[in-house]
Amino acid sequence: MAPKPYELDLRPILRAGGEPFADIMQAAGGLAPGQSLSLLATFEPVPLYRTLARKGFDHAAREIGGGDWEVLFTRAVSESGARADENIQASTVGISAQAWPEPLGHEDFRDFDPPEPMVRILAALEEMRPGEVLSALLDREPLFLFPELRQRGHHWRGAVEPDGTSYRLLVRAGLSNEAAA
């Protein structure tokens, strides 16, 4: 059974003239495997559809009265029946995981609150030599970690585990001058 959708009511932020984009992206990145995101807004957030589609979400929108909208974002399902979050994601397409050495260790960060997994992964990478690999098990896709890895010149591969309960991340330590442009 899928978890209850995470509800994010943006109406107070929007009515106060605020910008809820960061809240939306944080909520989308923090969803449990199989969990949907329910947004309540003062307008139909059409520009958000494309942004979240690039992150693997489909949407269903309905006006709920008074000009307010409810939009339910769910992970897209491919024709094969696989959810989009089950597909392997990587920092660079041209680097084969088969060429990577075995991970030095396997860390389980599923019981840690953000940003602790990110802090620990970045600290571990500081101690690693270029080319060494770290394996980490997380309770969600680490969207805020990816830009940090890229900035530091590290490469990563990750996907939701087949049972849908966690996210497996492999990080290959890069050279400090390998930072992506």
List pLDDT tens digits, range 135-159.
999 988 898 899 999 999 999 988 8
* Judgement on whether residues 26 and 99 belong to the same structural domain of the protein: no
**Cα–Cα distance measured from residue 170 to residue 123, given in angstroms and rounded to the nearest whole number:** 15
Please determine, for residue 83, whether its predicted confidence score (pLDDT) is greater than 70: no
In a domain, 54, yes or no: yes
Contact criterion met (CB below 8 Å) for 107 and 133: no
* Judgement on whether residues 32 and 113 belong to the same structural domain of the protein: no
Q: What is the pTM of this model?
A: 0.49
Q: Which residue has the higher pLDDT, 27 or 92?
A: 27
For all residues of the chain together, what is the average pLDDT? 82
Among 18, 42, 75, where does a domain finish?
A: 75
Out of 14-18, 81-85, 99-103, 130-134, pick the least confident: 81-85
Q: What is the mean pLDDT of residues 81-94?
A: 50
Rg of the chain taking only CA atoms, in angstroms: 18
User: Which residue range(s) make up the domain with 172?
Assistant: 88-178
Q: Which residues of 97-112 are buried (b: 16+ CB within 10 A; e: fewer)?
A: eeebeeeeeebebeee
Please determine, for residue 94, whether its predicted confidence score (pLDDT) is greater than 60: no
Q: Which token pair is 48?
A: 């958000």
Please determine, for residue 99, whether its predicted confidence score (pLDDT) is greater than 60: yes
Task: Give me the number of domains the chain comprises.
Answer: 2
**Cα–Cα distance measured from residue 146 to residue 123, given in angstroms and rounded to the nearest whole number:** 15
* Judgement on whether residues 98 and 172 belong to the same structural domain of the protein: yes
Question: Terminus-to-terminus CA distance in the chain, angstroms?
Answer: 42
* Judgement on whether residues 102 and 69 belong to the same structural domain of the protein: no
DSSP H/E element including 68: strand 68-75
* Judgement on whether residues 69 and 47 belong to the same structural domain of the protein: yes
